[in-house]
Amino acid sequence: MSPHSKSLVTIDDLSHGEIDALFSLAQVMSDSLDEQFGLCRGKIMASLFFEPSTRTRLSFETAMHRLGGSVITASDIGATSLAKGESISDMARVIGSYVDIIVIRHPWEGAAKVVADYAGVPVINAGDGGHQHPTQTLCDLYTIKKEKGTIQGLKIALWGDLKYGRTIHSLIFALAKFGANILFCPSPGLEVPEHIIKKLTAEYGGKMAKYATLNQSVKNAFSFLDAVYLTPSSPHQLAMMSDLNIQFELESGVDALYVTRPQKERFTAGEESREQGDPFPVVDKKLLRDKAFRKTLVMHPLPRVDELAYEMDADPRSKYFEQAAHGVPVRMALIAMLLGVKEVPPSPDDITPALDYPRYEHDSGARCANPRCVSVQKTELKYLKPDFIIVNREPLTLRCVYCEHGVEPKYVASAEWHEGKTATKIYHHADSRWARKIRPENLIVFSSEDEAGAKGFKPSHDVLEHPSKSHH
């Protein structure tokens, strides 16, 4: 990892080998905390926490102090110029001129990317809305690896709010990167968002099996299971995946149970009212009496509310306080690596998949539908344009580069119409064979026929014959 050239916005910003190298450094630092003082002497970190935080903020600030650096801080948007309408990009430019590294937590998804794009210094995402929380994931992986010796092939159950839990979203991709199997156990109505599942299966190559497709014995053993992700590194033949495979995988028990609280601060009105209904079972000793949980690590990013019983604190399987304690050496290692005061080369056999999706080049038709995305906020519209990559052609799917939500346009056209004649300036259904022939650099998408018409495009014969044809 080269200094001053990298930020950590999502867990994808670190390769498998870089994470392993970071863990090795974190272990060294943990074993000799006093010897690290002075590594960052003269360096200043900006700690910008615009959402509540205890562990993340204090562990980052502790980490910088233990490295011998200094910290400046802002924790209330109302006490900053953001409250006056200042854009995130202007704030980033200014603060980036004061400090050597920035740590930011912000309620808007993609805000950390904007800061990283404009600050001119390394930026660490300490949580951006419900998007990602990559440093929490580093603490989670570090804990699992210390306790189990490896992550590859383990079975990790994710429990609770899988919809809004940003720690969950980062962890899903990291577990897949390290070859773990994932059991999804969501609270009712708080299942993993579809765009997360699509990215998981498309980019990490495993297979998903939904609860409804499993046989009764599997359902009985894991009554809270919603879906299973089986990694390509597992010994079974994924192409032949069946209930038998899944049952075999689960018989040896769950290696870790990762519990999360309901993220009520992100609930919609409908979700708030539903939450008053039947509560999801609490993780307690009674639940964990099942033989499948005999050697299970119980983990939680904290804070907890009512989803994890206090009686579990004395259980030797519980590792959540160790998880929190690991935050200091892990974040010390990350700060040292990003600032270049510790150059730790990744493993030569790095196995992170390299994907290079084409960019959507045109400023037409694609708008992020996520109301929490930074790209749709009024103060940021003055300089931020919608920015997407093309991640699939069947169905045509664009992914917002800020919040990673997907968009499936209804109509498409080419920027290279025949000889530039308006008579051949036509648009097609997004699922038509014509749509798949358009080169990425020429692709133009529209959300409606009116939008296509406003840009001077006429409907193709297929659109005229099937005006309401679905593109799914």
In sequence order, the 6+-apart residues with CB closer than 8 A to the CB of 448 are 410, 411
Calpha distance 66→61 (Å, rounded):
9
Are 135-319 and 374-465 the same fold in CATH? no
Computed from CA positions of residues 284, 290, 294, 299, in that sequence, does the dihedral angle turn out positive or negative?
A: negative
Residue 399 is encoded by which pair of tokens? 């992914």
CATH fold of 374-465, please?
DNA Methylphosphotriester Repair Domain (3.40.10)
Residue 308 is encoded by which pair of tokens? 């994890």
The CATH number of domain 11-131+325-339, selected from 3.30.110.70, 3.40.50.300, 1.10.3720.10, 3.40.50.1370: 3.40.50.1370
> Residue 345 has what pLDDT?
74
Strands lying side by side in the sheet with 155-160: 207-210, 227-230, 181-186, 155-160, 256-259, 297-299
In sequence order, the 6+-apart residues with CB closer than 8 A to the CB of 116 are 7, 9, 123, 125
pTM higher than 0.85: yes
> Residue 348 has what pLDDT?
67
SS3 assignment, position 36 = helix
β-pair type (44-49, 70-74): parallel
Is residue 255 left, alpha or beta, with left meaning phi > 0 and alpha meaning psi from -120 to 50?
A: alpha
> Residue 303 has what pLDDT?
87
User: Element (H or E) spanning 331, and its range?
Assistant: helix 327-339
**C-alpha closest to that of 257 among 358, 144, 123, 342:** 144
- Amino acid identity for residue 150 in this structure: T
Query: Using N-to-C axis directions, what is the helix angle for 134-148 and 55-66, rounded to 10°?
Result: 80
> Residue 420 has what pLDDT?
52
Long-range CB contacts (within 8 A, 24+) of 241-250: 241/207, 241/209, 243/213, 243/214, 243/215, 243/217, 243/218, 246/209, 246/214, 246/218, 247/215, 247/217, 247/218, 249/155, 249/181, 250/155, 250/183, 250/218, 250/221, 250/222, 250/292
Calpha distance 407→181 (Å, rounded):
28
> Residue 52 has what pLDDT?
85
Q: Are 400 and 375 within 8 A, CB to CB?
A: yes
> Residue 78 has what pLDDT?
73
**C-alpha closest to that of 64 among 275, 329, 294, 283:** 329
Cis peptide bond N-terminal to 395, omega within 30: yes
- Look up the CATH number of domain 135-319: 3.40.50.1370
Domain ranges of the chain: 11-131+325-339, 135-319, 374-465
SS3 assignment, position 372 = coil
Q: What is the chain's pLDDT, residue by residue, as a tens digit (472 residues)?
A: 443 459 999 999 999 999 999 999 999 999 998 899 999 999 999 999 998 888 999 999 999 999 999 999 998 777 677 777 889 999 999 999 999 999 999 999 999 999 999 999 999 999 999 899 999 999 999 999 999 999 999 999 999 889 888 899 999 999 999 999 999 988 888 889 898 999 998 888 888 877 665 656 555 656 678 888 888 865 544 444 455 455 556 667 899 999 998 777 666 666 555 555 556 778 889 888 888 888 999 999 988 888 899 999 999 999 999 999 999 999 999 999 999 999 877 666 676 556 789 999 887 678 899 999 999 999 999 999 889 999 998 889 999 999 999 999 999 998 886 555 556 788 899 988 877 888 898 899 998 899 988 888 889 888 887 766 644 4
- Torsion, Cα of 220, 226, 232, 238 (10° steps): 60
User: Element (H or E) spanning 337, and its range?
Assistant: helix 327-339
> Residue 206 has what pLDDT?
82
Calpha distance 138→333 (Å, rounded):
11
Cis peptide bond N-terminal to 303, omega within 30: yes
